[in-house]
Amino acid sequence: MHSNTALAKLAKKIVRAEIEKRGAKDANAVESIVGRRLRLDSDGDIIMVDPEGRSLPGLGLADALDALQRSQPELFRSSVAALKTAARNPNPFAPGADFSMTAQMLLWRSDPEKAETLAAEAGLTINRTI
């Protein structure tokens, strides 16, 4: 039988291990940032939440860390892939290797104007007023 405290401690260890696996320069800083976007759901799964604390269906720890690595690559040890991604400013709406519905949704929630601009660059029309 698991108590909420034991489950929370296990989740914290899982988050910390994943942060370290991804090569965070300062694991405490990354944990502090990403921890604001994570919660345990009623099933004990680590889920991602928006800035207001509402759950983002289908998104979890990996998605939160992916978003942080894209937005603040300086928090992680340099790798060839990270440097290439940071240098070329990927467009998650464009067809190809950078296409990512998860990144599109995260961008839409965090910066709708930028999402509209990148979508337009990819030949798509999205509109916040619909």
Find the mean pLDDT for residues 56-67.
Answer: 88
DSSP H or E run through 46: strand 46-49
Which residues are CB-neighbours of 3 under 8 A, at least 6 positions away? Answer: none
User: Could you report the per-residue pLDDT of 98-130, keeping only the tens digit for each?
Assistant: 888 888 888 888 888 888 888 888 888 887 765
Give the pLDDT score at 129.
67
Give the pLDDT score at 86.
46
CB atoms within 10 A of CB 91: 19
Q: Residue 6 and residue 80: Cα distance in Å, rounded?
A: 38
- Which residues, in sequence order, are bridge partners of residue 38? 48
Give the pLDDT score at 83.
47
* Kind of pairing between the strands at 46-49 and 55-60: antiparallel
pTM for this prediction: 0.58
User: Could you report the per-residue pLDDT of 25-39, keeping only the tens digit for each?
Assistant: 999 999 999 999 999
